[in-house]
């Protein structure tokens, strides 16, 4: 039996539903959250309420669930938990549980935006210039290398929190003085895209790449998008993820500027727009289940229809959860 544990399920109902379909007749989906008001819990075959990830004993509780429920694979849907899974990979594997997450080094690089900028630069992949030292940035502006506007954002952050656009030096100085650990990033004025990529846990091959042009964003997530296909981009992204050494599901933010591709950020988990890929036939949960069953996947890069539009909308769940 192949059982999947989905941590911090929150409102990601669709992902839970997709894994239930992939496991139908051969396993169960167990979901966790610290709140009984997380709707995705009630989509799972079974759920467990757990402490917040910052509380003492959290990791031990998750390991205990893996042991009790005979969990084959564990994944999280929130950024702060990914490093915890990656750092404790051997403890999970000792229980027969595979953390579906890249290596600890890769995860930490993704969450340190300046480290990712340096890594992209070292590997020769285009990205917006970043500065930790405001004085260095001001010199670049004075020399004509850069111009306003720019983004000021935390070096380590997620969900587009505390990101501000600055039109002048005074605003940059104010934003950098308001909070520690900020960096200045070149404004990438182009068309924004996203890529959902799956790298096989067994073979290490890039199995699928799904690309969408983002039409509208909301709260840091893709709200409306259209699927696109570009063979050169598929090859470029494949080269990138292999050089980075990623494994599992990752979400890449991209820009197209003047006919050139730029990488903005990488999220080493299911992105909020993944349901678009699934609706176009890119079944990553099934790929993960295959890997957990010891089967390598056959590459299906770009095998989806172009021009298919995703439009998110609100839904509600009503449950009697007393007791």
Kindly state the tokens that stand for 207: 């199995």
Radius of gyration of the chain (CA): 20
- Cα–Cα–Cα angle for 207, 200, 45, rounded to 5 degrees: 105
Strand partners, 119: none
Residues 6+ apart with CB under 8 A from 229: 211, 302, 304, 306
Q: According to the model, what pLDDT value does residue 178 have?
A: 83
Average pLDDT over residues 82-90: 97
User: How far is 292 from 82, CA to CA, in rounded Å?
Assistant: 18
Cβ atoms of 99 and 91 closer than 8 Å: no
Q: According to the model, what pLDDT value does residue 161 have?
A: 62
Average pLDDT over residues 92-110: 97
- Asked if residue 158 has pLDDT above 80, the reply is no
Q: According to the model, what pLDDT value does residue 157 have?
A: 67
Query: pLDDT tens digit string along 209-254?
Result: 999 999 987 767 788 999 999 999 999 999 999 999 999 999 999 9
Query: pLDDT tens digit string along 163-183?
Result: 888 999 999 889 988 888 899
- Asked if residue 116 has pLDDT above 60, the reply is yes
Q: What 3 state SS string does 187-242 have? A: CCCCEEEEEEEEECCCCCCEEEEEEEEEEEEECCEEEEEEEECCHHHHHHHHHHHH
- Asked if residue 162 has pLDDT above 80, the reply is no
Sheet of 206-218: strand order equals 260-267, 248-257, 191-199, 206-218, 221-228, 309-311
Query: pLDDT tens digit string along 8-52?
Result: 999 999 999 999 999 999 999 999 999 999 999 999 999 999 999
Q: According to the model, what pLDDT value does residue 156 have?
A: 84
Query: pLDDT tens digit string along 262-319?
Result: 999 999 999 999 999 999 999 999 999 999 999 999 999 999 999 999 999 988 999 8
- Asked if residue 160 has pLDDT above 60, the reply is no
């Amino acid at each position: 039996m192949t059982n999947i544990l989905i941590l911090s399920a929150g409102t990601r109902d669709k992902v839970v539903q997709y894994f239930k379909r992939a496991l139908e007749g051969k396993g169960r989906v167990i979901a966790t959250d610290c709140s009984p008001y997380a709707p995705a819990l009630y989509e799972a075959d079974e759920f467990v309420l757990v402490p917040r990830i910052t509380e003492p004993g959290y990791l031990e509780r998750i390991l205990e669930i893996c042991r009790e429920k005979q969990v084959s694979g564990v994944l999280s849907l929130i950024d702060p938990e990914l490093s915890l899974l990656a750092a404790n990979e051997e403890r999970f594997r000792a229980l027969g549980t595979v953390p579906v997450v890249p290596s600890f080094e890769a995860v930490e690089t993704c969450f340190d935006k300046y480290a990712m900028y340096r890594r992209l630069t070292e590997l020769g992949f285009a990205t917006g210039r970043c500065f930790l030292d405001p004085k260095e940035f001001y010199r670049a502006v004075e020399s004509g290398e850069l111009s306003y506007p720019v983004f000021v954002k935390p070096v380590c952050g997620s969900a587009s929190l505390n990101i501000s656009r600055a039109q002048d030096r005074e605003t940059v100085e104010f934003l950098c003085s308001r909070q520690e650990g900020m960096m200045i990033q070149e404004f990438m004025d182009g068309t924004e895209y996203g890529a959902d990529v799956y790298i096989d846990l067994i073979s290490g091959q890039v199995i699928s790449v799904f690309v969408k042009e983002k039409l509208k964003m909301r709260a840091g997530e893709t709200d409306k998008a259209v699927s696109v296909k570009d063979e050169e981009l598929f090859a470029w992204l494949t080269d990138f993820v292999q050089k980075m050494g990623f494994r599992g599901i990752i979400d890449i933010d991209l820009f197209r500027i003047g006919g050139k591709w730029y990488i903005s950020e990488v999220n080493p988990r299911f992105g909020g727009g993944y349901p678009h890929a699934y609706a176009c036939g890119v079944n990553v949960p099934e790929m993960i289940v295959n890997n957990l069953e010891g089967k390598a996947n056959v590459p299906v890069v770009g095998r989806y229809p172009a021009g298919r539009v995703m439009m998110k909308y609100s839904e509600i769940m009503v449950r009697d959860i007393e007791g």
